[in-house]
Amino acid sequence: MKNFIKKIFKKAGFVVRRRTVDFNLPKMNYEDISQLLFFKRCFDYLGKVDGDVVECGVGQGKSLLSLAFLIKDEMSGRKIWGFDSFEGFPEPSREDQSLRNVKKGDIYSNINSSNIVTFFEIAGMDRLLVKHQVNLIKGFFKNTLTTYRGSQIALLHIDADLYDSYLDVLRELYPKVAKGGIIIFDEYITTADYSKFPGASKAVDEFFGQLKSNIRRDKITGKYYLVKT
């Protein structure tokens, strides 16, 4: 555990002096370390649940990198799938109205899948793992999630921000989550992003209905997750 944490935060650090890249590498911070440890707790809970790891909303690639290192550490051979438009947000709905005033095309629209691969390599991720186990799928969720042809899903990380995006992910991928698998909601209720992206919580509550009582809160990060029964 300590070795790959050091590798992420020392090698990726993230001031690159030995290599010139055509985009600004993301800088890891305390919140990213906390999230990595949260993901590790989720992996420990998964135990031997078979399946792939899927992230919807790759952004800069920091959380996907953490998940990839955990897969490498686990040595299970799981594949990891990252879905993102790489064009920023789709058109927000009225459920997404907030002081944040999100607009179509907001957030990381200048990052592409090649940037993510370069980021992984600079961070010290094994190139063979990136080549054979990491799948990056470009496009809006409503057009791409139906193309998922991986195995059942052991861990689904939803960092989709918007109401319609959350519903697209849950409707298409929740049925593919294995029994005992974990769904992580990045923006839900009391998390820091809730006030910016209220549509995410509305979508989760609407999708799960009474079953939302099964959603748990990680005491350390404040993030919410659900174990599929």
Could you state, in order of their start, the residue ranges of all structural domains in the chain? Answer: 2-227
Q: Candidates 3.40.50.300, 3.40.50.150, 3.40.50.2300, 2.30.42.10; correct CATH number of 2-227?
A: 3.40.50.150
Query: What would you report as the CA-atom Rg of the chain, rounded to the nearest whole angstrom?
Result: 17
pTM for the whole thing? 0.89
Residue 20 phi, psi dihedral angles, 5° rounding: -95, 130
**pLDDT over 80 (residue 21):** no
Q: Which residues contact 200 (CB under 8 A, 6 or more apart)?
A: 160, 161, 162, 163, 166, 185, 186, 187, 188, 193, 194
pLDDT of residue 27: 76
What's the pLDDT band for 18 if we cut at 50, 70, 90? very low
- On average, the pLDDT of the chain sits at 89
